[in-house]
Structure 1
Amino acid sequence: MKNYIAYYRVSTVRQGKSGLGLQAQQNAVQKYISGKGEMIAEFTEVESGTRKKKRVEIYKAIEFAKLENATLIVAKLDRLARDVEFTSALFNGKVDFICCDNPNANKLTIQLLSVIAENEAEAISTRIVDALAVKKDKIKKGIYVNKDGSMMKPIDGEYRLGNPNGFGDYQKKGVEKIKQNALENKANIQAMDVICSARREGMTFQKIADKLNKLQYTTRRGKQFNPIQVQRLYKRCPKIEKLNE
Protein backbone atom coordinates (compact mmCIF):
# COMPACT_ATOMS: atom_id res chain seq x y z
CA MET A 1 0.00 0.00 0.00
CA LYS A 2 1.35 3.40 -1.00
CA ASN A 3 1.35 6.61 0.99
CA TYR A 4 -0.02 9.65 -0.82
CA ILE A 5 0.43 13.41 -0.40
CA ALA A 6 -2.36 15.43 -2.05
CA TYR A 7 -1.83 18.85 -3.61
CA TYR A 8 -4.88 21.00 -4.38
CA ARG A 9 -5.21 24.47 -5.81
CA VAL A 10 -8.10 26.93 -5.66
CA SER A 11 -8.20 30.33 -7.30
CA THR A 12 -9.29 32.68 -4.51
CA VAL A 13 -9.42 32.89 -0.74
CA ARG A 14 -13.22 32.98 -0.92
CA GLN A 15 -13.29 29.83 -3.04
CA GLY A 16 -10.91 28.12 -0.65
CA LYS A 17 -13.12 28.88 2.35
CA SER A 18 -16.36 27.92 0.63
CA GLY A 19 -15.01 24.61 -0.66
CA LEU A 20 -16.05 25.35 -4.25
CA GLY A 21 -13.61 23.60 -6.58
CA LEU A 22 -11.65 22.19 -3.67
CA GLN A 23 -14.28 19.58 -2.85
CA ALA A 24 -14.27 18.31 -6.44
CA GLN A 25 -10.49 17.88 -6.33
CA GLN A 26 -10.66 16.09 -2.98
CA ASN A 27 -13.36 13.74 -4.27
CA ALA A 28 -11.28 12.86 -7.34
CA VAL A 29 -8.20 12.13 -5.22
CA GLN A 30 -10.09 10.07 -2.64
CA LYS A 31 -11.76 8.04 -5.39
CA TYR A 32 -8.42 7.31 -7.02
CA ILE A 33 -6.52 6.20 -3.91
CA SER A 34 -9.41 4.11 -2.56
CA GLY A 35 -8.03 0.60 -2.13
CA LYS A 36 -4.60 1.64 -3.42
CA GLY A 37 -3.09 3.37 -0.40
CA GLU A 38 -3.43 5.89 2.39
CA MET A 39 -3.61 9.68 2.38
CA ILE A 40 -1.12 10.94 4.96
CA ALA A 41 -1.22 14.69 4.23
CA GLU A 42 -2.99 17.32 2.13
CA PHE A 43 -1.71 20.71 0.96
CA THR A 44 -3.95 23.41 -0.52
CA GLU A 45 -2.67 26.39 -2.50
CA VAL A 46 -5.05 29.36 -2.30
CA GLU A 47 -4.18 32.05 -4.79
CA SER A 48 -5.66 35.07 -6.51
CA GLY A 49 -5.69 35.42 -10.27
CA THR A 50 -4.83 39.12 -9.97
CA ARG A 51 -1.87 38.73 -7.63
CA LYS A 52 1.03 36.66 -8.77
CA LYS A 53 3.14 35.47 -5.90
CA LYS A 54 5.44 32.58 -5.20
CA ARG A 55 3.56 29.44 -4.31
CA VAL A 56 4.71 27.78 -1.11
CA GLU A 57 2.37 24.83 -0.63
CA ILE A 58 3.68 22.91 -3.64
CA TYR A 59 7.20 23.02 -2.19
CA LYS A 60 5.93 21.92 1.22
CA ALA A 61 4.07 19.03 -0.41
CA ILE A 62 7.14 17.92 -2.37
CA GLU A 63 9.43 18.10 0.66
CA PHE A 64 6.98 16.13 2.78
CA ALA A 65 6.59 13.53 0.02
CA LYS A 66 10.37 13.10 -0.10
CA LEU A 67 10.56 12.84 3.69
CA GLU A 68 7.83 10.19 3.86
CA ASN A 69 8.79 8.44 0.61
CA ALA A 70 5.24 9.11 -0.57
CA THR A 71 3.63 9.77 -3.95
CA LEU A 72 2.43 13.28 -4.75
CA ILE A 73 -1.09 13.19 -6.18
CA VAL A 74 -3.08 15.91 -7.99
CA ALA A 75 -6.66 15.81 -9.26
CA LYS A 76 -6.26 17.31 -12.73
CA LEU A 77 -3.26 17.49 -15.00
CA ASP A 78 -4.37 20.05 -17.61
CA ARG A 79 -4.31 23.21 -15.50
CA LEU A 80 -1.20 22.38 -13.50
CA ALA A 81 0.76 21.29 -16.56
CA ARG A 82 0.35 24.81 -17.97
CA ASP A 83 2.00 26.24 -14.87
CA VAL A 84 5.75 26.57 -15.39
CA GLU A 85 6.43 27.08 -11.67
CA PHE A 86 4.57 23.88 -10.78
CA THR A 87 6.31 21.76 -13.41
CA SER A 88 9.73 23.14 -12.45
CA ALA A 89 9.12 22.35 -8.79
CA LEU A 90 7.99 18.85 -9.75
CA PHE A 91 11.06 18.15 -11.89
CA ASN A 92 13.52 19.49 -9.34
CA GLY A 93 11.75 17.80 -6.44
CA LYS A 94 12.44 14.30 -7.77
CA VAL A 95 9.35 12.67 -6.28
CA ASP A 96 6.87 10.18 -7.67
CA PHE A 97 3.59 11.73 -8.71
CA ILE A 98 0.24 10.74 -10.16
CA CYS A 99 -2.56 12.68 -11.86
CA CYS A 100 -6.06 11.31 -11.25
CA ASP A 101 -7.37 12.32 -14.68
CA ASN A 102 -4.28 11.01 -16.50
CA PRO A 103 -2.60 8.23 -14.48
CA ASN A 104 -0.26 7.36 -17.36
CA ALA A 105 1.30 10.82 -17.46
CA ASN A 106 5.00 10.95 -16.60
CA LYS A 107 7.60 13.70 -16.29
CA LEU A 108 8.13 13.78 -20.06
CA THR A 109 4.38 14.31 -20.58
CA ILE A 110 4.34 17.15 -18.08
CA GLN A 111 7.41 18.76 -19.62
CA LEU A 112 6.01 18.63 -23.16
CA LEU A 113 2.66 20.09 -22.09
CA SER A 114 4.42 22.82 -20.16
CA VAL A 115 6.62 23.82 -23.11
CA ILE A 116 3.66 23.83 -25.51
CA ALA A 117 1.54 25.90 -23.11
CA GLU A 118 4.35 28.40 -22.53
CA ASN A 119 4.90 28.85 -26.28
CA GLU A 120 1.16 29.27 -26.87
CA ALA A 121 0.93 31.89 -24.12
CA GLU A 122 3.77 33.86 -25.72
CA ALA A 123 2.13 33.56 -29.15
CA ILE A 124 -1.21 34.81 -27.81
CA SER A 125 0.49 37.74 -26.12
CA THR A 126 2.27 38.66 -29.36
CA ARG A 127 -0.95 38.43 -31.40
CA ILE A 128 -2.79 40.70 -28.95
CA VAL A 129 -0.02 43.31 -28.98
CA ASP A 130 0.11 43.25 -32.80
CA ALA A 131 -3.68 43.51 -33.13
CA LEU A 132 -3.85 46.47 -30.73
CA ALA A 133 -1.06 48.22 -32.62
CA VAL A 134 -2.97 47.83 -35.90
CA LYS A 135 -6.18 49.17 -34.34
CA LYS A 136 -4.43 52.17 -32.81
CA ASP A 137 -2.81 52.95 -36.15
CA LYS A 138 -6.21 52.83 -37.89
CA ILE A 139 -7.71 55.09 -35.23
CA LYS A 140 -5.00 57.71 -35.75
CA LYS A 141 -5.67 57.61 -39.49
CA GLY A 142 -9.39 58.03 -38.86
CA ILE A 143 -10.40 54.80 -40.56
CA TYR A 144 -11.35 52.76 -37.52
CA VAL A 145 -15.04 52.70 -36.63
CA ASN A 146 -17.10 51.43 -33.71
CA LYS A 147 -19.37 48.39 -33.96
CA ASP A 148 -22.36 50.63 -34.69
CA GLY A 149 -20.55 52.16 -37.67
CA SER A 150 -19.77 55.50 -36.03
CA MET A 151 -16.29 56.96 -36.04
CA MET A 152 -14.32 56.54 -32.85
CA LYS A 153 -13.80 59.85 -31.04
CA PRO A 154 -10.92 60.86 -28.78
CA ILE A 155 -11.42 61.06 -25.00
CA ASP A 156 -9.34 63.72 -23.26
CA GLY A 157 -7.30 64.01 -26.44
CA GLU A 158 -6.61 60.26 -26.63
CA TYR A 159 -8.15 57.40 -28.56
CA ARG A 160 -9.04 54.53 -26.24
CA LEU A 161 -10.05 51.02 -27.15
CA GLY A 162 -12.94 49.32 -25.38
CA ASN A 163 -15.35 50.80 -22.85
CA PRO A 164 -14.13 54.27 -21.72
CA ASN A 165 -15.26 53.45 -18.18
CA GLY A 166 -13.34 50.17 -18.16
CA PHE A 167 -14.53 46.66 -17.39
CA GLY A 168 -15.58 47.74 -13.92
CA ASP A 169 -18.57 49.57 -15.39
CA TYR A 170 -19.91 46.41 -17.04
CA GLN A 171 -19.17 44.35 -13.95
CA LYS A 172 -20.98 46.78 -11.65
CA LYS A 173 -24.07 46.83 -13.87
CA GLY A 174 -24.05 43.03 -14.06
CA VAL A 175 -23.88 42.61 -10.28
CA GLU A 176 -26.67 45.15 -9.75
CA LYS A 177 -28.86 43.35 -12.31
CA ILE A 178 -28.30 39.97 -10.63
CA LYS A 179 -29.19 41.39 -7.21
CA GLN A 180 -32.34 43.04 -8.54
CA ASN A 181 -33.46 39.83 -10.27
CA ALA A 182 -32.95 37.92 -7.03
CA LEU A 183 -35.03 40.44 -5.08
CA GLU A 184 -37.93 40.33 -7.54
CA ASN A 185 -37.91 36.59 -8.19
CA LYS A 186 -41.14 34.88 -7.07
CA ALA A 187 -39.40 31.69 -5.93
CA ASN A 188 -37.11 33.69 -3.63
CA ILE A 189 -39.99 35.77 -2.28
CA GLN A 190 -42.03 32.64 -1.51
CA ALA A 191 -39.14 31.11 0.41
CA MET A 192 -38.42 34.24 2.44
CA ASP A 193 -41.26 33.80 4.95
CA VAL A 194 -39.95 30.35 5.84
CA ILE A 195 -36.34 31.53 6.06
CA CYS A 196 -37.01 34.60 8.21
CA SER A 197 -39.35 32.72 10.52
CA ALA A 198 -36.96 29.79 10.89
CA ARG A 199 -34.01 32.05 11.70
CA ARG A 200 -36.02 33.78 14.40
CA GLU A 201 -36.55 30.32 15.90
CA GLY A 202 -32.78 29.75 15.89
CA MET A 203 -32.58 27.21 13.07
CA THR A 204 -29.28 26.84 11.23
CA PHE A 205 -29.00 27.58 7.52
CA GLN A 206 -28.51 23.87 6.83
CA LYS A 207 -31.72 22.94 8.67
CA ILE A 208 -33.60 25.71 6.89
CA ALA A 209 -32.36 24.42 3.52
CA ASP A 210 -33.51 20.91 4.45
CA LYS A 211 -36.90 22.28 5.47
CA LEU A 212 -37.34 24.23 2.23
CA ASN A 213 -36.41 21.18 0.16
CA LYS A 214 -38.79 18.99 2.16
CA LEU A 215 -41.59 21.50 1.50
CA GLN A 216 -40.61 21.36 -2.20
CA TYR A 217 -39.55 24.99 -2.44
CA THR A 218 -37.03 25.62 -5.22
CA THR A 219 -34.56 28.35 -6.11
CA ARG A 220 -35.19 30.75 -8.97
CA ARG A 221 -33.35 28.27 -11.20
CA GLY A 222 -35.58 25.40 -10.10
CA LYS A 223 -32.89 23.74 -7.97
CA GLN A 224 -32.91 22.57 -4.36
CA PHE A 225 -31.73 24.98 -1.68
CA ASN A 226 -28.34 24.73 0.02
CA PRO A 227 -27.09 26.59 3.15
CA ILE A 228 -25.19 29.23 1.16
CA GLN A 229 -28.28 30.17 -0.87
CA VAL A 230 -30.38 30.35 2.29
CA GLN A 231 -27.82 32.64 3.93
CA ARG A 232 -27.79 34.96 0.91
CA LEU A 233 -31.57 35.21 0.90
CA TYR A 234 -31.64 35.80 4.63
CA LYS A 235 -29.35 38.82 4.21
CA ARG A 236 -31.82 40.26 1.69
CA CYS A 237 -34.84 39.43 3.82
CA PRO A 238 -35.67 43.01 4.91
CA LYS A 239 -35.47 44.24 1.31
CA ILE A 240 -37.82 41.56 0.01
CA GLU A 241 -40.26 42.06 2.86
CA LYS A 242 -40.30 45.75 1.97
CA LEU A 243 -41.22 44.90 -1.62
CA ASN A 244 -44.23 42.94 -0.37
CA GLU A 245 -45.61 45.86 1.65
Structure 2
Amino acid sequence: MANGTTQDFVVLLRISTAKTGGIDSNGIAAQRRDINLFLQQQDNPRVIEEFVEVESGAAKERPVLEQAIKCCQKNRCPLLVQKVDRLTRDVETLGRLTKMKNVDIRIASLPNADNFQIHLYGILASQEREFISKRVRSGMREAKERGVKFGNPKLAELNKTRKHEARIYAYEHSELIKNLRNDGKTYRQICELLNSSGIKTRTGKYFHPVQVHRILKRATEVMQ
Protein backbone atom coordinates (compact mmCIF):
# COMPACT_ATOMS: atom_id res chain seq x y z
CA MET A 1 0.00 0.00 0.00
CA ALA A 2 0.97 3.66 -0.20
CA ASN A 3 3.73 4.66 2.21
CA GLY A 4 3.49 8.42 1.98
CA THR A 5 6.07 8.82 -0.76
CA THR A 6 5.12 9.72 -4.31
CA GLN A 7 6.07 8.28 -7.67
CA ASP A 8 6.68 11.13 -10.08
CA PHE A 9 6.14 10.87 -13.82
CA VAL A 10 6.53 13.11 -16.85
CA VAL A 11 3.81 12.32 -19.40
CA LEU A 12 4.22 12.64 -23.17
CA LEU A 13 1.16 12.61 -25.45
CA ARG A 14 1.70 12.58 -29.21
CA ILE A 15 -0.52 12.83 -32.27
CA SER A 16 0.73 13.02 -35.84
CA THR A 17 -1.40 15.94 -37.05
CA ALA A 18 -3.57 18.57 -35.44
CA LYS A 19 -7.32 18.11 -35.67
CA THR A 20 -9.73 20.88 -36.63
CA GLY A 21 -10.57 22.90 -33.56
CA GLY A 22 -7.42 22.05 -31.61
CA ILE A 23 -5.37 19.04 -30.57
CA ASP A 24 -7.70 17.66 -27.91
CA SER A 25 -8.58 14.86 -30.31
CA ASN A 26 -9.76 11.32 -29.76
CA GLY A 27 -6.14 10.23 -30.05
CA ILE A 28 -5.13 12.39 -27.10
CA ALA A 29 -8.17 11.27 -25.09
CA ALA A 30 -7.34 7.60 -25.66
CA GLN A 31 -3.75 8.15 -24.55
CA ARG A 32 -4.83 9.92 -21.37
CA ARG A 33 -7.30 7.12 -20.65
CA ASP A 34 -4.65 4.37 -20.82
CA ILE A 35 -2.10 6.44 -18.92
CA ASN A 36 -4.63 7.15 -16.15
CA LEU A 37 -5.37 3.43 -15.92
CA PHE A 38 -1.63 2.76 -15.55
CA LEU A 39 -1.32 5.42 -12.85
CA GLN A 40 -4.19 3.89 -10.89
CA GLN A 41 -2.04 0.79 -10.44
CA GLN A 42 0.86 2.79 -8.90
CA ASP A 43 1.39 3.90 -5.30
CA ASN A 44 0.86 7.66 -4.87
CA PRO A 45 1.53 8.59 -8.51
CA ARG A 46 2.06 12.24 -9.40
CA VAL A 47 2.33 13.75 -12.88
CA ILE A 48 4.69 16.68 -12.49
CA GLU A 49 4.37 17.82 -16.11
CA GLU A 50 2.52 16.79 -19.25
CA PHE A 51 3.81 17.47 -22.77
CA VAL A 52 1.61 17.34 -25.87
CA GLU A 53 3.42 16.87 -29.16
CA VAL A 54 1.96 17.25 -32.66
CA GLU A 55 4.58 15.48 -34.74
CA SER A 56 5.18 12.33 -36.77
CA GLY A 57 6.57 9.47 -34.73
CA ALA A 58 9.15 8.88 -37.45
CA ALA A 59 10.49 12.46 -37.39
CA LYS A 60 14.17 12.89 -36.49
CA GLU A 61 13.71 16.34 -34.95
CA ARG A 62 11.46 16.13 -31.88
CA PRO A 63 11.84 19.32 -29.79
CA VAL A 64 8.87 18.54 -27.52
CA LEU A 65 10.23 15.06 -26.84
CA GLU A 66 13.61 16.55 -25.97
CA GLN A 67 11.92 18.97 -23.56
CA ALA A 68 10.14 16.07 -21.89
CA ILE A 69 13.43 14.17 -21.53
CA LYS A 70 15.15 17.19 -19.97
CA CYS A 71 12.26 17.50 -17.52
CA CYS A 72 12.71 13.83 -16.58
CA GLN A 73 16.44 14.34 -16.04
CA LYS A 74 15.87 17.43 -13.95
CA ASN A 75 13.29 15.76 -11.73
CA ARG A 76 14.84 12.29 -11.82
CA CYS A 77 11.65 10.56 -12.83
CA PRO A 78 10.43 8.30 -15.68
CA LEU A 79 8.94 9.38 -18.98
CA LEU A 80 5.47 7.85 -19.37
CA VAL A 81 3.76 7.29 -22.73
CA GLN A 82 0.75 5.24 -23.80
CA LYS A 83 2.44 2.93 -26.31
CA VAL A 84 5.89 2.45 -27.80
CA ASP A 85 4.90 4.02 -31.12
CA ARG A 86 3.67 7.12 -29.27
CA LEU A 87 7.24 7.55 -28.11
CA THR A 88 8.73 7.00 -31.57
CA ARG A 89 8.35 4.85 -34.67
CA ASP A 90 12.03 5.20 -35.50
CA VAL A 91 14.05 2.23 -34.24
CA GLU A 92 17.27 4.23 -34.12
CA THR A 93 15.69 6.94 -31.98
CA LEU A 94 14.09 4.34 -29.73
CA GLY A 95 17.48 2.69 -29.22
CA ARG A 96 19.01 6.01 -28.18
CA LEU A 97 16.20 6.74 -25.74
CA THR A 98 16.20 3.33 -24.09
CA LYS A 99 19.98 3.36 -23.67
CA MET A 100 20.00 6.64 -21.76
CA LYS A 101 21.22 5.75 -18.27
CA ASN A 102 19.54 8.66 -16.51
CA VAL A 103 16.02 8.31 -17.99
CA ASP A 104 13.62 5.41 -17.50
CA ILE A 105 10.86 4.86 -20.03
CA ARG A 106 7.47 3.57 -18.87
CA ILE A 107 4.84 2.33 -21.31
CA ALA A 108 1.25 2.30 -20.04
CA SER A 109 0.28 -0.65 -22.26
CA LEU A 110 3.45 -2.54 -21.20
CA PRO A 111 3.49 -1.74 -17.48
CA ASN A 112 6.21 -4.23 -16.51
CA ALA A 113 8.62 -3.64 -19.40
CA ASP A 114 12.07 -2.22 -18.72
CA ASN A 115 14.10 -0.14 -21.20
CA PHE A 116 15.67 -3.19 -22.84
CA GLN A 117 12.31 -4.89 -23.34
CA ILE A 118 10.81 -1.68 -24.71
CA HIS A 119 13.61 -1.44 -27.28
CA LEU A 120 13.08 -5.08 -28.28
CA TYR A 121 9.32 -4.56 -28.56
CA GLY A 122 9.90 -1.52 -30.79
CA ILE A 123 12.16 -3.53 -33.11
CA LEU A 124 9.59 -6.31 -33.40
CA ALA A 125 6.78 -3.81 -33.99
CA SER A 126 8.82 -2.16 -36.76
CA GLN A 127 9.39 -5.51 -38.44
CA GLU A 128 5.71 -6.33 -38.11
CA ARG A 129 4.69 -3.03 -39.74
CA GLU A 130 7.04 -3.75 -42.62
CA PHE A 131 5.63 -7.25 -43.01
CA ILE A 132 2.03 -5.96 -43.00
CA SER A 133 2.96 -3.29 -45.56
CA LYS A 134 4.49 -5.91 -47.87
CA ARG A 135 1.49 -8.18 -47.44
CA VAL A 136 -0.92 -5.36 -48.30
CA ARG A 137 1.09 -4.38 -51.39
CA SER A 138 1.24 -8.00 -52.49
CA GLY A 139 -2.50 -8.42 -51.96
CA MET A 140 -3.27 -5.28 -53.97
CA ARG A 141 -0.99 -6.44 -56.79
CA GLU A 142 -2.70 -9.83 -56.93
CA ALA A 143 -6.12 -8.18 -56.83
CA LYS A 144 -5.21 -5.92 -59.75
CA GLU A 145 -4.08 -8.95 -61.72
CA ARG A 146 -7.53 -10.45 -61.15
CA GLY A 147 -9.09 -7.28 -62.53
CA VAL A 148 -10.11 -5.67 -59.25
CA LYS A 149 -10.35 -1.90 -59.59
CA PHE A 150 -9.37 0.23 -56.61
CA GLY A 151 -11.02 3.53 -55.83
CA ASN A 152 -14.52 2.07 -55.88
CA PRO A 153 -16.73 4.51 -53.90
CA LYS A 154 -18.40 1.55 -52.20
CA LEU A 155 -15.15 0.72 -50.43
CA ALA A 156 -15.64 3.62 -48.04
CA GLU A 157 -18.98 2.20 -46.96
CA LEU A 158 -17.49 -1.28 -46.78
CA ASN A 159 -14.89 -0.07 -44.30
CA LYS A 160 -17.61 1.22 -42.01
CA THR A 161 -19.24 -2.14 -41.41
CA ARG A 162 -19.75 -3.20 -37.83
CA LYS A 163 -17.37 -6.11 -38.20
CA HIS A 164 -14.54 -3.89 -39.40
CA GLU A 165 -15.10 -1.34 -36.64
CA ALA A 166 -15.21 -4.08 -34.01
CA ARG A 167 -11.88 -5.50 -35.16
CA ILE A 168 -10.21 -2.09 -35.20
CA TYR A 169 -11.52 -1.38 -31.71
CA ALA A 170 -10.27 -4.75 -30.49
CA TYR A 171 -6.83 -4.16 -31.96
CA GLU A 172 -6.53 -0.76 -30.28
CA HIS A 173 -7.50 -2.06 -26.82
CA SER A 174 -6.10 -5.59 -26.79
CA GLU A 175 -2.57 -4.72 -25.64
CA LEU A 176 -3.86 -3.08 -22.47
CA ILE A 177 -6.21 -5.98 -21.71
CA LYS A 178 -3.54 -8.61 -22.42
CA ASN A 179 -1.18 -6.98 -19.95
CA LEU A 180 -3.87 -6.86 -17.28
CA ARG A 181 -4.47 -10.57 -17.89
CA ASN A 182 -0.74 -11.24 -17.64
CA ASP A 183 -0.79 -9.47 -14.29
CA GLY A 184 -3.28 -12.05 -13.05
CA LYS A 185 -6.46 -9.99 -13.38
CA THR A 186 -9.69 -11.90 -14.05
CA TYR A 187 -12.05 -10.80 -16.81
CA ARG A 188 -14.37 -9.37 -14.17
CA GLN A 189 -11.54 -7.42 -12.50
CA ILE A 190 -10.50 -6.06 -15.90
CA CYS A 191 -14.08 -4.93 -16.49
CA GLU A 192 -14.08 -3.10 -13.17
CA LEU A 193 -10.81 -1.34 -14.00
CA LEU A 194 -11.97 -0.33 -17.48
CA ASN A 195 -15.37 0.87 -16.27
CA SER A 196 -13.94 2.82 -13.33
CA SER A 197 -11.50 4.52 -15.73
CA GLY A 198 -14.33 5.75 -17.93
CA ILE A 199 -13.45 3.43 -20.81
CA LYS A 200 -16.51 2.37 -22.78
CA THR A 201 -17.20 -0.40 -25.25
CA ARG A 202 -17.31 0.37 -28.95
CA THR A 203 -21.03 1.14 -28.59
CA GLY A 204 -20.49 3.39 -25.54
CA LYS A 205 -21.63 0.93 -22.87
CA TYR A 206 -20.06 -0.62 -19.77
CA PHE A 207 -17.83 -3.64 -20.12
CA HIS A 208 -18.85 -7.19 -19.18
CA PRO A 209 -16.48 -10.20 -19.04
CA VAL A 210 -17.74 -11.67 -22.30
CA GLN A 211 -16.89 -8.43 -24.13
CA VAL A 212 -13.34 -8.41 -22.76
CA HIS A 213 -12.86 -12.00 -23.92
CA ARG A 214 -14.29 -11.08 -27.33
CA ILE A 215 -11.82 -8.21 -27.74
CA LEU A 216 -8.86 -10.54 -27.19
CA LYS A 217 -10.30 -13.03 -29.69
CA ARG A 218 -10.91 -10.38 -32.36
CA ALA A 219 -7.45 -8.90 -31.88
CA THR A 220 -5.96 -12.34 -32.53
CA GLU A 221 -7.98 -12.60 -35.74
CA VAL A 222 -6.68 -9.21 -36.91
CA MET A 223 -3.07 -10.30 -36.49
CA GLN A 224 -3.55 -13.58 -38.38
TM-score norm. by structure 2 comes to: 0.51
Structure 2 residue aligned with 1:118: 126
Name the SS for the 1:93 alignment partner.
coil
Structure 1 47/89 Cα, relative in aligned 2: closer, same or farther at 3 Å?
A: same
Quick check: 1:58–1:89 contact (8 Å CA) kept in 2? no
Quick check: 1:76–1:101 contact (8 Å CA) kept in 2? yes
Structure 1 residue aligned with 2:7: 2
Quick check: 2:13–2:51 contact (8 Å CA) kept in 1? yes
Quick check: 1:82–1:113 contact (8 Å CA) kept in 2? no
Deviation per residue, 1:165-187 (Å, 9 max, x gap): xx5x849x969xxxxxxxxxxxx
Structure 1 89/62 Cα, relative in aligned 2: closer, same or farther at 3 Å?
A: farther
Given candidates 46, 55, 63, the residue that maps to 2:70 is 63
Question: Aligned equivalents of 1:115 and 1:129: distance in 2?
Answer: 21
Letter in 2 for 1:72: L
Letter in 2 for 1:21: G
Deviation per residue, 1:47-70 (Å, 9 max, x gap): 358x95633222221121011111
- Of all paired residues, the percent bearing the same amino acid is 30
Quick check: 1:43–1:57 contact (8 Å CA) kept in 2? yes
Question: Aligned equivalents of 1:24 and 1:129: distance in 2?
Answer: 30
| Equivalences for residues 132-211 of structure 1 within 5 A | 144-147=145-148, 162-163=149-150, 170=153
Letter in 2 for 1:107: N
Shift of 1:115: 2.0
Deviation per residue, 1:111-165 (Å, 9 max, x gap): 2212222333444555566777x76xxx9xxxx4414xxxxxxxxxxxxxx54xx
Structure 1 87/38 Cα, relative in aligned 2: closer, same or farther at 3 Å?
A: same
Structure 2 residue aligned with 1:30: 36
Question: Aligned equivalents of 2:153 and 2:51: distance in 1?
Answer: 36
Structure 2 residue aligned with 1:87: 94
Shift of 1:19: 3.0
Question: Aligned equivalents of 2:129 and 2:8: distance in 1?
Answer: 36
Given candidates 104, 113, 116, the residue that maps to 1:96 is 104
Give the RMSD, CA atoms, in angstroms: 4.0
Shift of 1:42: 0.9
Question: Aligned equivalents of 2:88 and 2:59: distance in 1?
Answer: 17
Q: How many residues align?
A: 151
Shift of 1:41: 0.8
Q: Which structure's relative contact order is higher, taking Cα pairs within 8 Å and 6+ residues apart?
A: 2
Letter in 1 for 2:17: T
Structure 1 unaligned segments of length 5 or more: list them.
Answer: 148-161, 176-221, 224-245
Matched, 1:11 2:11: no
Structure 2 residue aligned with 1:46: 54
Quick check: 2:7–2:44 contact (8 Å CA) kept in 1? yes
Computing the radius of gyration over CA atoms, which structure comes out larger, 1 or 2?
1
Structure 1 102/122 Cα, relative in aligned 2: closer, same or farther at 3 Å?
A: closer
Structure 2 residue aligned with 1:186: none
